[in-house]
Chain A
Amino acid sequence: MTFSPASVDTMVMLVAVVSTLAILSVVYRENAFYRLFEHLFVGVATGFGIFVTWRDALSENFWQPLSHGSWYVIIPMLVSLLFYTVMIPKYAWMSRFLISILFGLGAGATFRGFATEVFPQVKSSFLSVVPRAATEAGAAVSTGQALNNIVFLGTLICVMVYFFFSFRHDNKIVTKTARTGRWLLMIAFGATFGSTVMARFSLLIDRIRFLLESGTAMGHWFR
């Protein structure tokens, strides 16, 4: 039995519509229909991940070289299998070799990553709070920019003082600065909350649009 491309598209759309409705049905109440499709989603995503990992990574880096006579690729594969000795208590110590190598690699990479990620930000926080004309040392700073920089530096100092936990905040200046820092953090959390609402709405808008477009398409088929 063969299917035309159009009928395959129709079936795919129907499956997607039923899946979307099943997942959204949890809004009404927890139900078996929702749970079935939730498990299906996890299963399909995992299966797809395994297939793509084989096709794009393992096949060309391991299987193809091996089948073309590059027998040595079996060495890293065997070494990587040492991870699974963690399941056999008698040989579990062998997995520690790999774990310790990964720890070392991770620590080194994190150190390097921290430097390349954070140092430019430290550098860019040295801002002029005084308006000035352009010089060889740097670009011009307008009055507006200088005001922006004052707000930026004030926020930076207040928030950093709030996170000084190594001494008691009993000095009046420190207490007030830390409290201002807390308020500024609240404003930032408010912005994040607003963005979260936007993010969640975007996901629902995508599904509603899909259902509306599918409804229109199906309406044409049944006409």
Chain B
Amino acid sequence: MSPALLRLLARSRSIDRRWIALATVLMLAAPLIWRIPLTMVPFPATVKLKTTIDAVPENKLIIVAVDWDSATKGECQPLTAAVIDYLLKNNKKFALFGFIPQGPELAQRLTEELARKYPGKTYGKDWVNWGYRPNVMNTLIAMMNDVPGTLKTDIRKNDLSKDPLTQMVPNLKEAGLLYHVSGTALFKSYLQFCAGVPLANAVTAVMGPEQYPYLQSGQTKGLLVGLGGAAQFEAVGDFKDETGAKGGEGYKGMGSQSLGHLLVMALIVLGNLGVWAQRRLDETTPPPDDEPSETPIDDQGEAA
């Protein structure tokens, strides 16, 4: 390979990070403007979640625990939206709840938006929002015995002991399913203190690999991982967006994800080629004769 080409490749080791950032933004933005048709292949864990939701009887309430905030909204919102949309579409009743202050508020706004797609779906009849509660351990232990007595009121200050949806779950063990969405390790608390409650969960992609042992042991009845998990659920749930195209919020982001991953792979290859090229240049170019091999040090230990 010619030295000029090697030098060019070697320069790839020091590309300004701002160029990389710009390339990333362009690669991620392009599929949002010009949609890339993608086929999602759902993982067995995604199919299992759908099967679990389908098997919940009509007289059982599904609890959607929304332990996320604006910091992980990019992933957790599509994961929440996919399941809530499916519950509304299939006439499943559900309650929103969370141990992170922003979670139930953001989920309420999202649910109101999704409910507009299905005429007749209203707050109090199809879903209830129990709001935020602090102190995970004590609240969960108390909810295992008495849900309305522990929570008392919903976000609109309605008495939960008179709420028809909350009456479907006198204690957590009576829940049809507890679906937990989070970018935190809070799911462990549910595993630890909600023995006997059917659990399923969705996590941000970074937490995905450590959730699989719970799936293998049957402690979680279904698992969605990151934006890809949301897109897969949209595929198995046969979602359509406002234009009639396949998928929803998760699907839209997956084109950008794919191009972004290609960019990362290309940059990794380029960086490695740069290191290889620099090594070749060092091997083939002799060091200049007049360059001192070592900086002389004087008696005081300082560089001369």
A46, closest chain B residue (CB): B101
Contact of B32 among A114, A201, A212 (CB under 8 A): A212
A203, closest chain B residue (CB): B74
User: A56 to B132, Cβ gap below 8 A?
Assistant: yes
Contact of B134 among A53, A109, A121, A188 (CB under 8 A): A53
Tell yes or no: A208 within 8 A of B by CB: yes
Write out the residue numbers on chain A whose beta carbons fall within 8 Å of the beta carbon of B56.
none
User: A202 to B74, Cβ gap below 8 A?
Assistant: yes
**B255 nearest CB across to chain A (Å):** 9
Tell yes or no: A170 within 8 A of B by CB: no
Write out the residue numbers on chain B whose beta carbons fall within 8 Å of the beta carbon of A48.
101-102
Tell yes or no: B182 within 8 A of A by CB: no
User: A208 to B256, Cβ gap below 8 A?
Assistant: yes
User: A60 to B152, Cβ gap below 8 A?
Assistant: yes
**B162 nearest CB across to chain A (Å):** 15
Q: Please measure, in the bound complex, the distance between the C-alpha atom of A53 and the C-alpha atom of B216, giving whole angstroms.
A: 37
User: B18 to A27, Cβ gap below 8 A?
Assistant: yes
Write out the residue numbers on chain B whose beta carbons fall within 8 Å of the beta carbon of A53.
101, 132, 134
**B237 nearest CB across to chain A (Å):** 19
B105, closest chain A residue (CB): A52
Q: Please measure, in the bound complex, the distance between the C-alpha atom of A57 and the C-alpha atom of B228, giving whole angstroms.
A: 35
Tell yes or no: B257 within 8 A of A by CB: yes
Q: Please measure, in the bound complex, the distance between the C-alpha atom of A198 and the C-alpha atom of B254, giving whole angstroms.
A: 10
Docked complex: B93-140 residues within 8 A CB-CB of A: 101-102, 105, 131-134, 137
- Interface size counted on chain B using CB atoms at 8 A: 58
Tell yes or no: A144 within 8 A of B by CB: no
User: B192 to A209, Cβ gap below 8 A?
Assistant: no
Contact of A56 among B21, B131, B217 (CB under 8 A): B131
User: B206 to A199, Cβ gap below 8 A?
Assistant: yes
**B130 nearest CB across to chain A (Å):** 9
User: B133 to A56, Cβ gap below 8 A?
Assistant: yes
Write out the residue numbers on chain A whose beta carbons fall within 8 Å of the beta carbon of B205.
195-196, 198-199, 202
User: B153 to A201, Cβ gap below 8 A?
Assistant: no
Q: Please measure, in the bound complex, the distance between the C-alpha atom of A191 and the C-alpha atom of B193, giving whole angstroms.
A: 29
Q: Please measure, in the bound complex, the distance between the C-alpha atom of A203 and the C-alpha atom of B153, giving whole angstroms.
A: 33
Q: Please measure, in the bound complex, the distance between the C-alpha atom of A195 and the C-alpha atom of B257, giving whole angstroms.
A: 11
Task: Offer 19 A-B interface pairs, CB within 8 angstroms, sorted by A.
Answer: A56-B133, A56-B155, A116-B191, A116-B193, A117-B192, A120-B218, A124-B217, A124-B218, A197-B260, A197-B264, A198-B226, A199-B205, A201-B256, A201-B257, A202-B205, A202-B227, A203-B74, A205-B257, A206-B73
Interface residues of B (CB under 8 A from A): 17-18, 21, 24-25, 28-29, 32-33, 69-70, 72-75, 77, 101-102, 105, 131-134, 137, 152-153, 155, 157, 188-189, 191-193, 195, 204-210, 213-214, 216-219, 225-228, 252-253, 256-257, 260-261, 264
Interface residues of A (CB under 8 A from B): 27-28, 45, 48-49, 52-53, 55-57, 60-61, 105, 109, 112-114, 116-117, 120-121, 123-124, 188, 191-192, 195-199, 201-209, 212
